[in-house]
Structure 1
Amino acid sequence: MTAQTVAEPKTYATALDSPTRFHHLLSAEWIKLWSLRSTYWVLGIGPLAVIGINVNSALSNADRLAHQPELPPAPPPGRPELPQMLFDPLASAFVDPAWQLLMIIAGSVGALAVFGEYTSGLIRTTFAAVPARRAVMTAKVAVMATVMLVLGTVTAGASFGVTQAILQDHHGMSIGDPGALRAVAASALLAPLCALVGMALGALIRHAAGTVVAVVGVLLLLPTLFMGETYRWVKEIGNAMPLTAWRALVQNPGRDYSVDKYPVSVTEGWIVFGAWSLVAAAVAVAVVHHRDV
């Protein structure tokens, strides 16, 4: 009987150390995310609002273009300013305010996934059950990034498909046209990027109002402080912001008439996306390990 008593703890310890444990953490974080009623509302209504803004833009442009003469495809000699007047169908799928709304939604949901557990006290129970804080946060990051990637892909794909169908009589684009797939991919990846930034800020601030304000400030307000081109270093800081990088990635290469003195290249845009995502995930994982609950 003594041998059986000793054997049982050994079997339990082995089960805890098994490779399937991280799978259990992923399942737990998945349940936590969808146990909140607000998750369904935000992730359901938010993308519809984003798509609706883009569709409204496409409908307005289609109505306007139907009642005006079509502009020539190339500028006449001595009129280099005319291409700036040409209609860009890709812009209707990626209207700035719509995707700024998606950034706020994704960042806020990511932040809520972290500070929500701290404000409710659930984080104490979580860490008591699983002392490996880094593993818990890594699972949370993985679940959030996956959910937001799916959300961003559906939103970007639907926005592009519906708007270009509306504009099919006005040079609407297909996914195979230059710049189209890149714009859809960048918009899809914008959602997980902003969610990870929200998680990092939530882990640092751990306060609901403060974190949401910080999400809006970092993702939307901070880039506006570095828009000037008088000093190159100011503009380069602005170019390193996710919003600026996204704008560069969704530009139509056939209608790129930017007059920026220090523009963001496509390669630089992807680097910004990757760097922000990796740093935000690392901060979220590291902070919970070094700070007490």
Structure 2
Amino acid sequence: MNPQQYEKVKSASGFIAALDQSGGSTSKALSLYGIKPESYSGDQQMFDLMHAMRTRIMTSPVFNGDRILGVILFEQTMDREIEARGSADYLWSVKQVVPFLKVDKGLADEANGVQVMKPMPNLDSLLARAKGKGVFGTKMRSVVKHAEAGGIEDVVNQQFTIGKQILAAGLIPILEPEVDIHAPDKPGAERLLKAAILGHLDTLGPEQQVMLKLTIPTVDDFFADLVAHPNVLRVVALSGGYSREEANTLLARNHGVIASFSRALTEGLTAQQSEEAFNRALDASIASIYHASGT
């Protein structure tokens, strides 16, 4: 593990940019960016356009390690190049931004009020490849839709079981058990989730650390004991469907939690903008999320 990257993720101010939209969310992300589905044909063109969007963001002069700690990459992005370098190498060598990789294969159908992750049969080879390309850590997402203790335990158990596999490969896992912001009893789900996470943190060795990516809680500072936990490297928050302004306002009320926003980060960016307008909009977005992450 790169000690400079570890120190940056552990203690530097800033936030993590989630640029890991995958097959299911790529078309929607492109539409918000001003590229409609009728303007391209087939997955290959869609992913090429998405890579161009991500490249435009990551190569922008306003996008660098001064305010951005890390970037979560989609597997295809990791395997592509930015300015003639592998994406992960470009991020760290040129921008001083720590690269992470989304490793999950999507969500299983809802059961017991939750959606666990689909199986990841080739995870070990993917982790080895990622490490070889200079990736620091991973991210994987499941979703909690109802305050059901059994389902929430299933989600957390799966996250930690695979998290330990990722730790064994020499990478730092970001565990993301998202609570749906529209869950009927969101505070109840968050209480059950925190209890389950604390229980599983106790199964880690003293040197083992994970990161947690969580929905901004209903009760301010509800995750303070997770932020302070010795086995937690960093707690980051997802925007979860909130607008950027709303997500920033809620995030700022949670001390020690930083952003890992996706759609909220790219809100207001379009393919049609001039470079000057694009960079200005991206700069404003980064500045506002950086500020909200600083509390």
Please say whether Structure 1 and Structure 2 have the same fold, judged by a TM-score greater than 0.5. Answer: no
Q: Structure 2 length as normaliser, TM-score? A: 0.27
As a proportion of its length, which structure holds more helix? 1
| Greater relative contact order, per chain length (Cα 8 Å cut-off, separation 6+) | 1
Q: Structure 1 length as normaliser, TM-score? A: 0.28
As a proportion of its length, which structure holds more strand? 2
